[in-house]
Structure 1
Amino acid sequence: MMIKMKEHGKVTERQFAGIIANTLIGAGSLVLPRTITKAAGTAAWLSILIGGLFSFLIIFLIVKIGFRFPEETLMEYSNRVLGKIFGNSISLLFCFYWLLLCSLVLRVFASMLSSAVLLNTPIEFIIISMLFLIIYYINHDIEVIGRVNELYFIFLIIPVIIGIFLSMKEIQVIRLMPVMGQKGFSSIVKGTLNSFFSFLGFEIIVLFLPSLVTPKLAYNYAIKGLISPLIIYLAIVISAIGVFGIEELQNLTWPTLEVIKVIRFPGLILERVEAIFISFWVIAIFTTAGNLLYSSVLGMTQVFKLEDHKTLIYPLMPVVFFIAIFPDNVYQVFYYMEISSIIGTFLVFAIPLLIYVLSIMRNIRGDEQA
């Protein structure tokens, strides 16, 4: 019998929402203004809204499957619906995808940090330092994971809101015109795909749903968990376009960081605002990469029927490190992130839909004996 999440504790509704939000607000937002405006131009805001809508629909589907199998995770009910071989293969594919995403998030953060603040610090050292923090974090059970996400979200969201508010003063409205874009509907669709990539990560709730204290509130708090990243993405992209314009954004490696650099605090209270921004962004990367790695480790633990998820943590640590340092430069990292996002889109959209349809057709529910 596989290890069930409920044996490791519970997460409250706010912690559940915090896990979703903290997983999404990470490295992707550092480059989002460039990638989405390249496709959609000034209609990038519309692409984000549509991408967010698709994310809401998919998370509804995942939660609905969770209601059908209230005591089981993806790694358990996929075997029953898809068969043991195919179900385990799909589960491992999710686990390796989260592992890959964790590695790329760490590399993006290390690259940004080494180019903006720690100019003479090797990328490898930054990755290892963050990785050791994450290892300590995921050595705990789900109750600790939930509390950390609930607490850290507060420390993350406040400075982000302040930064976005101050950046609004630097916006030139003319650069946001035309609001519906100038490249046509096809560009908005392409931009929607790019924006959806930034929402990937919420699918880790397939491991957390059985641990929710009040399962009937899963829909409500899943929405709350997605709304915060959606609003932050909208504000970041609008600010970046308004400050630099879509043409200039294509020349910026870290457009979100550049927006922070133009912020001027009243009375010149603070200089080097980007350093303060980065210090808070460490929290975002820590929780994003930590949640992804925890999900990967826990998923593999259930697939291989191990007694404790801690068994796999240290063996997987060098794997994460070598994947993170494998790309030669940051542009290769962006390329690998795009490839991983395409894989993630397929997994997040196709697999839950397939499982839900087959479970209905075969009349399989969680209250039956496996």
Structure 2
Amino acid sequence: MMKSFEYGDEEIGSREILYAVSSMVIGVGIFGLPRTVGSVTKGSDGWVSILLGGVLALFFAWLVAKLASRFPRQTFLQYTTTLVSKPVAIFLTILLAFHLMQFTAYEMRTVANISKVYLFDRTPVEVIALLFLLVVTYGVACSSVGLFRLNLLFLPIVLLIAILLLIMNIGYFEPGNLKPVFSTKWTGYFQGARETLFAFLGFEILLVYIAMTNQPEKTPKAVMIGMSIPLLLYLFVFIIVVGVFGHTAMIQLTDPTIEIAKEVEVPGEFFERFESLFFTIWIMTIFNTSALAFDASVLAFRSVFPKIKRVWLIFFLAPIIYLFGMMPPNLIRVYEVGNWLGFSGFIFAILMPTILFGIAKLRGIKGNA
């Protein structure tokens, strides 16, 4: 009997989950993370907050994967119906879909704002956002599995350029900028950990996508490895940024991670603006993040409204996402939307899965785990 083509089915394996989780978490949050963490800590103490927030994110990502993997081949709506009533499950599914739509809109607006500053200074934000969303919509119009294959291609390139950026800034690193050490109050550490935890959100897509995996028993381990990649990246980025700029200057920069790319000088002046190259490459992972969130929202809506064709649902949701993203009139409002998105992400990535997992334990619903 002829063996079927490995990538010819509509299933994903543990490796695809690993890459997808990393790509989903590593988005626009890394640009301003050193500033937000540094604003509530002293010296280089922010690494402690990043580590605390990352460990918490690892645990809750494992919990989400463990919950969903107990019900293999079942959608979020199906296994939530098993745990609670169907009306409640439908309500939660629709809310999750709207959260993912808002996630996509925020990524779209943020990448448009940053692109205008570093790449297209004469192009209106509205045009940049529209073009980016059109590309994302084109990607989502294909199969969901195809998006996972793109992660396998894009993520190594993104990590390579990030590592290259860090290495090329070692020459500007001043160890004295790391002082003082361990001088932050405990409240500062925990406040920084809270800000960091929001930067790790995005793994809630597992609630939707684990229904497609053919290795549910391996998913929790893959998720842990996938979440460890952004944790290590965030730690190294923070240390390099504070070592290059110092704490006082770092918290005054809007996007410190992009600013360290400006410090890079390529021998022979082959690249005069390395930050443009860095951000251009980084758009790959922002595309992956936006496309996965958009696609997961489509899958969630289709589980509630199965008679609606995928392509028509995509064309209906895309303009709504664009309107969501363009509603904030200025950057201050965009940051407020980001804070609200962090709150809703806390609900769907941490609070709701914890409650559902507790219900499964109390009721003795083990699924196929």
TM class, shorter-length: over 0.9
Equivalences for residues 143-222 of structure 1 within 5 A: 143-180=145-182, 182-222=183-223
Shift of 1:267: 4.3
Correspondence 1:142 to 2:144: yes
CA distance in 2, matches of 1:168, 1:342: 36
Equivalences for residues 259-338 of structure 1 within 5 A: 259-306=260-307, 308-338=309-339
Match of 1:32 in 2: 33
Identity %: 25
CA distance in 2, matches of 1:91, 1:125: 32
Match of 2:59 in 1: 57
Deviations 1:34-78 (A, max 9, x none): 111112232111111111111111122112212321121322211
Equivalences for residues 13-24 of structure 1 within 5 A: 13-24=14-25
Q: Write the letter of the residue equivalent to 1:257.
A: I
Match of 1:344 in 2: 345
Long gaps (5+) in structure 2: 1-8
CA distance in 2, matches of 1:55, 1:242: 26
CA distance in 2, matches of 1:211, 1:343: 25
Shift of 1:219: 2.1
Match of 1:4 in 2: none
CA distance in 2, matches of 1:48, 1:75: 33
Deviations 1:113-147 (A, max 9, x none): 11122111000111111111111111122221211
Deviations 1:199-258 (A, max 9, x none): 100110112212223222212211221121111111211111111122212221221111
* Conserved? CA contact 2:68–2:206, under 8 Å: no
CA distance in 2, matches of 1:151, 1:307: 31
Match of 1:5 in 2: none
Question: What is the CA RMSD across the aligned residues, in angstroms?
Answer: 1.8
Match of 1:120 in 2: 122
Match of 1:75 in 2: 77
Q: Write the letter of the residue equivalent to 2:211.
A: P
Match of 1:102 in 2: 104
Q: Write the letter of the residue equivalent to 2:75.
A: T
* Conserved? CA contact 1:10–1:142, under 8 Å: no
DSSP 3-state at the match of 1:39? coil
* Conserved? CA contact 2:147–2:291, under 8 Å: no
* Conserved? CA contact 1:172–1:242, under 8 Å: yes
Deviations 1:331-365 (A, max 9, x none): 22112101210121122111111111112222334
DSSP 3-state at the match of 1:11? coil
* Conserved? CA contact 1:72–1:366, under 8 Å: no
Correspondence 1:244 to 2:218: no
* Conserved? CA contact 1:12–1:146, under 8 Å: no
Runs of 4+ aligned residues of structure 1 deviating over 6 Å after TM superposition are none
Long gaps (5+) in structure 1: 1-7
Shift of 1:307: 5.4
* Conserved? CA contact 2:147–2:288, under 8 Å: no
TM-score, length basis structure 1: 0.93
Match of 2:6 in 1: none
